[in-house]
């Protein structure tokens, strides 16, 4: 009887060892589906509507957006750019554990996180036509990406969080590299038709203090890979940290809900 038990235990250990680690999903290439693959009919209409909502968010959803931003101000080129928080593959990545929430959340909850934080606005109803359209677009972008995998370039580029910021140098970097688009006072460049040609990075129409972009190292990672627009990768990691330290500490809307963030006690050092 002991032999049988030991044999069964050994078999179980071997079987478990052969399984992939769920905490380390495999990576696949970021591939954007051809627009010609959008189907005709209601599903295709929803996909196109989802892209419109995410690209023209402030005007399309004025009751849910409390600042001057569109989703694609950070999720560049319709959420298709690596290391600019692309939406490719997200449909199969959620539900997912999020340390900031301290729990497993749905993709709908993640979308609403952005509406409440980055857009300083109000959440969408989970069963609304607008939420379904956004999910339809993200699902289409995820065509061919196996569930449980990450696309290469998901989120932002890694940056050395041991780098110490120099805010005075960051101010100089901002003036030289950022102010021409985002304004000397971070106010952005307004569009005569409404909204902004280039988004504000602080002030009342910018993301609030609960947004990921309000964190110095998160903002630095985005800046390092993507800014100045069209010249991503030209700033050093130190320059990116310095300029992020400068603009993330500028005045912006508050987010009272941030008091409940990281309930497990693993709050990052750059959290606002």
Residue at which a domain ends, from 97, 125, 151: 151
Residue 203, class by beta-carbon neighbours within 10 Å (0-12 exposed, 13-18 middle, 19+ buried)?
Answer: middle
111 shares a domain with 43: yes
189 shares a domain with 147: no
Whether residue 99 contacts residue 45, with contact meaning beta carbons closer than 8 Å, is answered with no
251 shares a domain with 201: yes
145 shares a domain with 173: no
Residue at which a domain ends, from 97, 117, 151: 151
Beta-bridge partner residues of 190: 196
3 within some domain = no
- According to the model, what pLDDT value does residue 14 have? 34
208 shares a domain with 131: no
177 shares a domain with 116: no
236 within some domain = yes
For 35, 151, 234, 243, the CA distances from 177, given in Å and listed in that order, are 34, 30, 10, 9
Residue at which a domain ends, from 120, 151, 182: 151
- According to the model, what pLDDT value does residue 52 have? 98
175 within some domain = yes
158 within some domain = no
146 shares a domain with 90: yes
Query: What's the whole-model pTM score?
Result: 0.89
For 48, 148, 214, the CA distances from 51, given in Å and listed in that order, are 5, 24, 25
Q: Which domain holds residue 127?
A: 27-151
Whether residue 47 contacts residue 87, with contact meaning beta carbons closer than 8 Å, is answered with no
SS3 156: strand
102 shares a domain with 54: yes
- According to the model, what pLDDT value does residue 24 have? 59
- According to the model, what pLDDT value does residue 1 have? 40
The count of structural domains within the chain is: 2
Spell out the per-residue pLDDT of the chain, length 272, in tens. 444 344 443 333 333 333 333 455 779 999 999 999 999 999 999 999 999 999 999 999 999 999 999 999 999 999 999 999 999 999 999 999 999 999 999 999 999 999 999 999 999 999 999 999 999 999 999 999 999 999 999 999 999 999 999 999 999 999 999 999 999 999 999 988 888 999 999 999 999 999 999 999 999 999 999 999 999 999 999 999 999 999 999 999 999 999 999 999 999 999 98
137 shares a domain with 66: yes
196 shares a domain with 93: no
272 within some domain = no
Whether residue 202 contacts residue 69, with contact meaning beta carbons closer than 8 Å, is answered with no
171 within some domain = yes
77 shares a domain with 53: yes
226 within some domain = yes
- According to the model, what pLDDT value does residue 25 have? 72
228 within some domain = yes
141 shares a domain with 116: yes
What CATH number should be reported for the domain holding residue 193? 1.10.760.10
């Amino acid at each position: 009887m002991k032999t049988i038990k030991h044999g069964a235990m050994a078999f179980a250990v071997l079987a478990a060892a052969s399984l992939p680690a769920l905490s380390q999903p495999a990576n696949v290439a970021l591939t954007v589906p051809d627009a010609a693959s959008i189907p005709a009919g209601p599903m295709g209409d929803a996909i196109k509507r989802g892209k419109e909502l995410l690209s023209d968010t402030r005007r399309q959803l004025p009751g849910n957006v409390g600042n001057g931003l569109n989703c694609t101000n950070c999720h560049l080129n319709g959420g298709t750019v690596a290391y600019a928080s692309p939406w490719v593959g997200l449909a199969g990545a959620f539900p997912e554990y999020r340390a900031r929430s301290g729990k497993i959340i749905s993709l709908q909850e993640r979308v609403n996180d952005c509406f409440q934080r980055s857009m300083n606005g109000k959440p969408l109803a989970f069963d609304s036509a607008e939420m379904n359209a956004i999910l339809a677009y993200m699902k289409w972008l995820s065509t061919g990406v196996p569930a449980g995998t990450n696309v290469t370039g998901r989120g932002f580029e890694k940056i050395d969080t041991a780098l110490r910021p120099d805010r005075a140098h960051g101010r100089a970097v901002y003036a030289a590299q950022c102010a021409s688009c985002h304004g000397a006072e971070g106010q952005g460049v307004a569009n005569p038709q409404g909204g902004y040609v280039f988004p504000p990075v602080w002030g009342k129409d910018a993301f609030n203090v609960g947004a990921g972009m309000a964190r110095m190292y998160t903002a630095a990672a985005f800046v390092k890979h993507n800014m100045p627009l069209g010249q991503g990768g030209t700033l050093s990691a130190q320059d990116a940290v310095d300029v992020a330290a400068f603009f993330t500490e500028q005045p912006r809307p508050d987010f009272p809900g941030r008091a409940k963030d990281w309930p497990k006690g693993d709050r990052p050092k750059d959290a606002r």
